[in-house]
Structure 1
Amino acid sequence: MSKSHPTAAEVEAARDDPKQANILYHDWEADTYDEKWSISYDERCVTYARDRFAHVAGTDGWPYRNALELGCGTGFFLLNLMQAGVIEKGYVTDISPGMVDVALRNAKQLGLDVSGRVSDAETIAYDDATFDLVVGHAMLHHIPDVEQALREVLRVLRPGGRFVFCGEPTKVGDWYARKLGQATWWATTNLTKLPGLTDWRRPQEELDESSQAAALEAVVDLHTFDPHALRRTAESAGAIDVEVATDELTAAFLGWPVRTFEAAVPKEKLGWGWARFAYTSWKALSAVDEKVLSRVVPKEFFYNVEITGVKP
């Protein structure tokens, strides 16, 4: 279901209404979100989702009988975890109707047993003690009241049920990611004005659209997290056995310029060779981050934070 772009007036009005901003932005991005963020439902992203889950929560309890993805987007985390054998039956919710539509469409194409509904994360539209597992990826930072959302997560979990949230930006990580992205966008859009490089420049209309999307994205990105403070928030919400982990340091130094460059040049200029370079380089740096740097660098300096906890 294609969504029209929000008007300038709608964007301006949404600046003071983060929930409406989230609906506008994610409805707008729904049909192109997987392409924009290089999301797939093959071995690459199945492995990524499984590894991120296991990194913070381990492998005990697999497969979970049923699981809810909160703030599902296009279903990236839940659908890939289902393909990895972590989850049997899946449910998806998002405040954006467009994202729920796309997530259910992706599930159908993959032949996965998934149902879903539109729901606010602060008032989850399911009964108490419904799920064995609640997951989310890069969604807590969009929610105005994170502690209230975690209270709701615990409400819909069965006793002993677990939540796992991954891909949340740390305070330090978000700072350097934004700086790298801004510098790459400026360099790419200016260098491609030069003679001999103009065929590497996207049409101005597309660049303007990307800039408008980025402006609205800044409105919906409400939080960055200190890993230890996020742990305390989950404990205050009532969770037990709370653990936090982090990942991506040098991998983020590569990943954010790569993603920004891809958004600034015509898609046909970047073929399989580029995709292979980007993925293998990111994978190699991620291994360095996990096996070496995680032992000596404080958690606060990594880009992503993951958190898990259990309902008493």
Structure 2
Amino acid sequence: MSAPDPAPNPHATPEQVAAARHDRKLANVLYHDWEAGTYDEKWSISYDERCITYAADRFRHAAGDSGWPYERALELGSGTGFFLLNLMQAGVAARGSVTDLSPGMVQAALRNAEHLGLDVDGRVADAERIPYDDETFDLVVGHAVLHHIPDVELALREVLRVLKPGGRFVFAGEPTRVGDWYARRLGALTWKAVTTVTRLPPLQGWRRPQEELDESSRAAALEAVVDIHVFDPAALEATARRAGARDARVVTEELTAAMLGWPVRTFEAAVPPGKLGWGWAMFAYRSWLGLSWLDANVLSRVVPRAWYYNALVTGTKA
């Protein structure tokens, strides 16, 4: 019988943060436990038509729409369940299992699954040692997870081990080397600008309490530790092939959309919750949609795939 999952630790102390700087997996646990309660709000995650469509489109962009529905799917680094739960609602998979290093994230994902009435179980798990038997799953997915895993090739070998023959994996939302370079700079500039101007008396109502900003800064310090990799698309394909994947390929997306998205998300994180309202949300979402269309239908013809922000990798088990 396996040991019970550990309890979440949502408020890391400065001493714990200092220790985590030398232990990437501990840093992942502390950072994502800290984020679990507000993650959906921070990243504008929902489980309605907007994010169902988004998740299904990401899956379709990487792997097409043949083979649906997969009977049983596993998500690595599930966070609050955004990718798998929305894929299940889209009809991609019938049953699901969520895993994450963070106990807080697993609990949040299971709460979301229960609220949605989805057939999902969950375990705290290390992607380099997936705690499931060989040939258990028809599909393995992940969103923004590979760049947190120290040994990506080992994790992909584990993915292929737990897949049934002919099963598929799809990982989306992975930062490219070039995309990470401009996204981080745009985010840092936005954070500095917002937290500076909101010190002015007329704008102090737009400033989060200092203790929240300080906690965000501690989380940002951990984020620099937990974000281990950025990817070159060709190199990521080669890693998947070395792990044993058949038909491995990488596609990319979001160029101008990412250049808008990162400042928008940073601005939203720097001001009090609820301050911006529905009008802002619709502006941000529609702007992102328009720029995503431009990236996919116009710029992709002339811009190298390595310049785009998001990489998506897929492959199958022989």
TM over 0.5: yes
Partner of 2:104: 98
CA apart distance, 1:206:
1.2
Partner of 2:184: 178
CA distance in 2, matches of 1:309, 1:226: 17
Matched, 1:215 2:221: yes
Partner of 2:200: 194
Aligned 8 A contact 1:231 1:307 in 2: yes
Taking the TM superposition and a 5 Å limit, the aligned residue runs for 1:1-312 are: 3-312=9-318
Aligned 8 A contact 2:77 2:99 in 1: yes
Structure 1: 5+ residue runs without aligned partners? none
Q: TM-score, normalised by structure 2?
A: 0.96
| 1:40 partner letter | S
Aligned 8 A contact 2:197 2:203 in 1: yes
| 1:256 partner letter | W
**The residue matched to 1:134 in structure 2 has which SS?**
strand
Aligned 8 A contact 1:136 1:165 in 2: yes
CA deviations 1:19-60 (Å, max 9, x no partner) are: 111111111111111111111101111010000000010001
Aligned 8 A contact 2:53 2:90 in 1: yes
**The residue matched to 2:170 in structure 1 has which SS?**
strand
| 1:295 partner letter | R
| 2:145 partner letter | M
Q: Mean Cα displacement is larger for which, 204-213 or 302-311?
A: 204-213
CA distance in 1, matches of 2:274, 2:310: 30
CA distance in 1, matches of 2:144, 2:178: 16
**The residue matched to 1:306 in structure 2 has which SS?**
strand
CA deviations 1:105-154 (Å, max 9, x no partner) are: 10000000101111110010000000000000000000000000000000
Runs of 4 or more above 4 Å deviation: none
CA deviations 1:254-296 (Å, max 9, x no partner) are: 0000000111112232000000000000011011111111111
Aligned 8 A contact 2:136 2:163 in 1: yes
Q: Mean Cα displacement is larger for which, 95-104 or 139-148?
A: 95-104
CA distance in 2, matches of 1:4, 1:160: 39
Q: TM-score, normalised by structure 1?
A: 0.98
* Counterparts in 2 of 1:236 and 1:112: CA distance versus 1, 3 Å: same
CA distance in 2, matches of 1:195, 1:29: 30
CA distance in 1, matches of 2:208, 2:38: 16
Aligned 8 A contact 1:2 1:31 in 2: no
Aligned 8 A contact 2:78 2:106 in 1: yes
CA distance in 2, matches of 1:58, 1:303: 21
CA distance in 2, matches of 1:270, 1:40: 17
| 1:115 partner letter | D
CA distance in 2, matches of 1:81, 1:110: 12
**The residue matched to 2:202 in structure 1 has which SS?**
coil
CA distance in 1, matches of 2:281, 2:8: 27
CA RMSD of aligned residues (A): 1.0
Q: Mean Cα displacement is larger for which, 259-268 or 122-131?
A: 259-268
CA distance in 2, matches of 1:112, 1:92: 12
Structure 2: 5+ residue runs without aligned partners? 1-6
CA apart distance, 1:4:
3.8
Aligned 8 A contact 2:8 2:102 in 1: no
**The residue matched to 1:241 in structure 2 has which SS?**
strand
